[in-house]
């Protein structure tokens, strides 16, 4: 039974946004209540929200009553429940009933008057508005109705507004909305619909903002998607938008630019105002210039991020926000805000991880959504009309999805789309359902045939992959609250910036090794000298690829600095304010030569492992300009972005004199040890580092032991020598004595010692030895954190018992 509308003389049909607060959700729905809340509470903090008004639940029930709709709607719903009518037949019939009704005169007059007053406020007789549906139970943290009802853009004139209201009322019974309410346990006839009539922003660019990382749940990131034109292309996932990531805690400092991620989308289309015809909007192809350019400037990104942080603080929860930039006035606006309903509700104390145990041919690549793995047969579905042929447990492959695809998505083991971004419908629903998705591949529907067995992997960073065949994988669930505390600092070894944010829940205190060469090899791909001395690259294929990669950069060297600085900043953000030790590049000459353009700058060496690597490169004339780019990137991370928790680490430094030369070159590029809290560590991986530890301690702030190189140089066994692999053991007494001696000498000089090799992860007894030796920190790969913490805690307890026993005796 539908609620009874109050007597006509007491009904309120319209409420101005500025008269609404969050307490008015039952009256105007979550979307409209939120707009009023922001106008009333956040306007003084500089946040702009287009003005407007909302029809009320009273208006909806008055419309239902005046047109005798209750019985007709109930009859159709009952027929569907009895199996006498299909979902599509029921939805179509109900929508036709609602659209065919007449707006009661008193209600129509109230809407016309509100529209005229809104137009007058903008010095116009008739402004263009957006009519947005807002269900009275919508956008609550417990139930997000986002995308279930319709919005209508560029509506102009009082009569057009009335027609838009009827269409919004009808959209309360879209097929997807009917299905959603049934699944959520809402009575169809107890939910009303409010229509928000909001001044249209003539957007030349628009998008979505989340105040939480949508994949990892990392709470200190703000994620912004942006595209040209109106925001519907981003919301509905019809294009691959730009993506920007901002580090929230450093936004307080106006002098900083903490934009840690910028990814350019292809933005193939944009929705714009129609110049003629019946349709108010039209979708057109973007220009080549628009596709190559970033949609937003850094100032705009930071303004939006600061607004997002203010809105999140006001609501005291992570938020999902839609924004638009007015191309005529140049001003930014917030047009919607609702609670984020996926990551914010995940259990904080549990970490579930997936790992592939084998590899296969990589078939397509896209954005990684979901941090899990799925396998199954490909099922290519071109449109929602083919939903009935989808079989449960398959991998759905399609161009894009919209809310009408709800029934099929619940059956899928994984989703792969040609188009869309992290805020597209497919991405949002996959998170809600807890299934992985690879979004925006560009060609999945062409490359993946029906029936092919594949494995979908979303556990390798921000990029997701579809592999041929069913690959073996494992799943682990870790109860973080059960792990003991340790006096020894436990840190992470991290290489990939894309994966760094995934591990924020782990109970660690920083990163003991961030490998710069991973970013150079996998993100930048180009030899740094090929960028600063491009004219010396004679290989035409290399020149062509470098031109392609650096497109949009007037200075090719800036391409290197930009990507390296953002990669380092992302890693630093994941553990801020804990220390993050960034190792300067430690490629061997053969590895450098394999970078694009590298052949022109690298000599051939018979034994690159003991050749021109590490510190020896940084002050050499042949690489000095390349090293300058590394220094520029680190300086930008620390000074421009604000990540002063970054500690620089110098690898393979053979002598104290070489250390002096490296520190001198760093200072020339603005990285002076001790200034702006800059600390510089040295890798202890050569016997000379131990034998002259007192001299190195005068030049560096700390030591980090690299067990692989130290072991091979102490034992004379190549780390990659297969025939001698049985002899390569970090637990050899000679290696352990080296470590013990280094710790003793470093502590005598008041210098900390950490270890960042693989040995503590592989050998529990080695971790226990390190505790006994007095190591200050142990840095391990993420998968090993739990085991190492437990081994270290047990070793510390045993050490404490022994110390207590000795005192008693």
Give the torsion sign (CA, 81, 87, 93, 95). positive
Beta strands per DSSP E along 399-521: 414-417, 437-439, 453-457, 463-468, 473-479, 489-494, 511-515
Q: Do residues 103 and 111 lie in contact, with contact meaning Cβ atoms separated by under 8 Å? A: yes
Residue closest to 109 by CA, chosen among 167, 158, 57: 158
Predicted local distance difference test score (pLDDT) of residue 145: 45
Q: Which of these is catalytic: 425, 527, 563, 791?
A: 425
Predicted local distance difference test score (pLDDT) of residue 590: 94
Predicted TM-score (pTM) of the model is: 0.87
4 Cα distance to chain centroid: 46
For the residues of 211-262, what is the DSSP string, one character each?
SS-TTT--TTEEEEEEEEB-THHHHTT-S--EEEEEEGGGTT-TT---EEEE
Q: Which of these is catalytic: 97, 458, 756, 791?
A: 756
Active site residue 425: yes
**Which residue pairs from 536-539 have beta carbons closer than 8 angstroms and sit at least 24 positions apart in sequence?**
536/600, 536/601, 537/597, 537/600, 538/600, 539/597, 539/599, 539/600
Peptide bond into 577 cis (omega under 30): yes
Predicted local distance difference test score (pLDDT) of residue 139: 46
Q: What 8-state DSSP symbol labels residue 140? A: B
Predicted local distance difference test score (pLDDT) of residue 11: 74
Predicted local distance difference test score (pLDDT) of residue 784: 84
Active site residue 631: no
Residue 300: CA count within 13 A, CB half-sphere: 21
Q: Do residues 784 and 764 lie in contact, with contact meaning Cβ atoms separated by under 8 Å? A: no
Give the torsion sign (CA, 218, 646, 463, 256). positive
Token pair recorded at residue 506: 């782990």
Please state, in angstroms and rounded to a whole number, the distance separating the CA atoms of residues 19 and 218.
35
Residue 80, SS3 per DSSP: helix
| 27 membership: H or E segment, kind and range | helix 25-42
Residue 564, SS3 per DSSP: helix
Q: Do residues 663 and 680 lie in contact, with contact meaning Cβ atoms separated by under 8 Å? A: yes
Q: Do residues 775 and 703 lie in contact, with contact meaning Cβ atoms separated by under 8 Å? A: no
Give the torsion sign (CA, 109, 110, 112, 113). positive
Predicted local distance difference test score (pLDDT) of residue 806: 67
Which residues of the chain have a pLDDT value below 50?
138-145
């Amino acid at each position: 039974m539908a609620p009874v509308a109050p007597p006509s003389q007491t009904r309120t049909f319209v409420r101005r946004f500025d008269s609404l607060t969050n307490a008015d959700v039952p009256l105007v729905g979550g979307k409209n209540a939120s707009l009023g809340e922001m106008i009333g509470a956040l306007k003084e903090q500089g946040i702009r929200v287009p003005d407007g008004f909302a029809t009320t639940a009273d208006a909806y029930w008055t419309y239902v009553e005046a047109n005798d709709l209750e019985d007709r709607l109930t009859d159709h719903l009952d027929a569907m429940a009895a199996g006498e009518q299909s979902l599509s037949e029921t939805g179509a019939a109900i929508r036709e009933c609602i659209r065919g009704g007449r707006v009661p005169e008193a209600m129509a007059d109230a809407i016309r008057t509100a529209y005229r007053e809104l137009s007058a406020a903008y010095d116009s007789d008739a402004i263009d508005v957006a009519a947005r549906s807002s269900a009275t139970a919508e956008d609550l943290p417990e139930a997000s109705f986002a995308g279930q009802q319709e919005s209508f853009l560029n509506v102009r004139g009082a009569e057009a507004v009335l027609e838009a209201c009827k269409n919004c009322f009808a959209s309360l019974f879209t097929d997807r909305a009917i299905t959603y309410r049934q699944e959520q346990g809402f009575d169809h006839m107890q939910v009303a619909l409010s229509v928000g009539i909001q001044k249209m922003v003539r957007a030349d660019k628009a998008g979505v903002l989340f105040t939480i990382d949508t994949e990892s749940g990392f709470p200190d990131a703000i994620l912004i998607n942006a595209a040209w034109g109106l925001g519907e292309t981003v919301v509905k996932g019809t294009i691959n938008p730009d993506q920007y990531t901002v580090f929230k805690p450093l936004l307080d400092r106006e002098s900083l630019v903490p934009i840690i991620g910028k990814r350019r989308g292809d933005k193939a289309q944009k929705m714009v105002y129609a110049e003629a015809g019946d349709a108010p909007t039209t979708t057109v192809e973007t220009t080549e210039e628009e596709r190559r350019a970033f949609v937003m400037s850094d100032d705009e990104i930071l303004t939006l991020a600061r607004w997002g942080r203010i809105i999140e603080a006001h609501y005291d929860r992570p938020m999902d926000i839609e924004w638009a930039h007015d191309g005529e006035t140049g001003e930014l606006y917030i047009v919607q805000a609702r609670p984020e309903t996926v990551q914010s509700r995940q259990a904080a104390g549990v970490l579930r991880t997936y790992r592939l145990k084998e590899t296969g041919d990589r078939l397509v690549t896209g954005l990684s959504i979901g941090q899990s793995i799925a396998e199954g047969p490909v099922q290519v579905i071109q449109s929602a009309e083919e939903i009935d042929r989808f079989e449960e447990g398959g991998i759905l492959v399609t161009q894009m999805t919209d809310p009408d695809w709800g029934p099929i998505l619940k059956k899928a083991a994984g989703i792969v789309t040609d188009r869309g971004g992290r805020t597209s419908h497919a991405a949002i629903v996959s998170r809600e359902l807890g299934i992985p998705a690879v979004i925006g591949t560009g060609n999945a529907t062409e490359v993946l045939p029906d029936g092919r067995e594949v494995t979908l992997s979303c556990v390798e960073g921000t990029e997701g992959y579809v592999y041929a065949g069913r690959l073996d994988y494992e799943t682990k669930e870790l109860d973080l609250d059960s792990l003991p505390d340790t006096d020894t600092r436990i840190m992470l070894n991290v290489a990939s910036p894309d994966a760094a944010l995934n591990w924020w829940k782990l109970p660690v205190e920083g990163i003991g090794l961030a490998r710069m060469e991973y970013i150079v090899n996998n993100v930048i791909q180009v030899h740094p000298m090929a960028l600063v001395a491009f004219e010396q690259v004679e290989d035409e294929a290399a020149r062509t690829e470098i031109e392609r990669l650096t497109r949009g950069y007037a200075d090719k060297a800036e391409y290197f600095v930009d990507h390296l600085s953002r990669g380092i900043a992302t890693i630093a953000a994941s553990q801020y304010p804990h220390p993050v030790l960034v190792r300067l590049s430690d490629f061997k000459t053969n590895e450098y030569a394999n970078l694009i353009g590298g052949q022109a700058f690298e000599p051939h060496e018979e034994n690159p492992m003991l050749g021109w690597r590490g510190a020896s490169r940084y002050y050499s004339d042949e690489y000095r300009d390349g090293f300058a780019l590394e220094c520029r990137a680190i300086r930008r991370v620390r000074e421009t972005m604000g990540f002063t928790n970054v500690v620089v680490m110098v690898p393979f430094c053979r002598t104290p004199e070489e250390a002096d030369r490296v520190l001198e070159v760093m200072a020339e590029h603005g990285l002076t040890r001790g200034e702006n809290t800059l600390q510089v560590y040295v890798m202890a991986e050569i016997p000379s580092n131990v034998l002259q530890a007192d001299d190195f301690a005068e030049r560096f702030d700390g030591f980090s032991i690299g067990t692989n190189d130290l072991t091979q140089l102490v034992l004379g066994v190549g780390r990659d020598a297969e025939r001698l692999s049985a002899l390569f053991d970090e637990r050899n007494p000679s290696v352990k004595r080296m470590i013990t001696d280094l710790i003793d000498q470093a502590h005598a000089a008041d210098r900390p010692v950490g270890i960042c090799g693989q040995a503590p992860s592989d050998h529990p007894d080695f971790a226990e030895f390190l505790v006994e030796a007095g190591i200050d920190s142990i840095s391990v790969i993420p998968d090993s954190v739990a085991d190492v913490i437990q081994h270290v805690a047990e070793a510390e307890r045993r050490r404490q018992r022994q110390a207590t026993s000795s005192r008693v005796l």
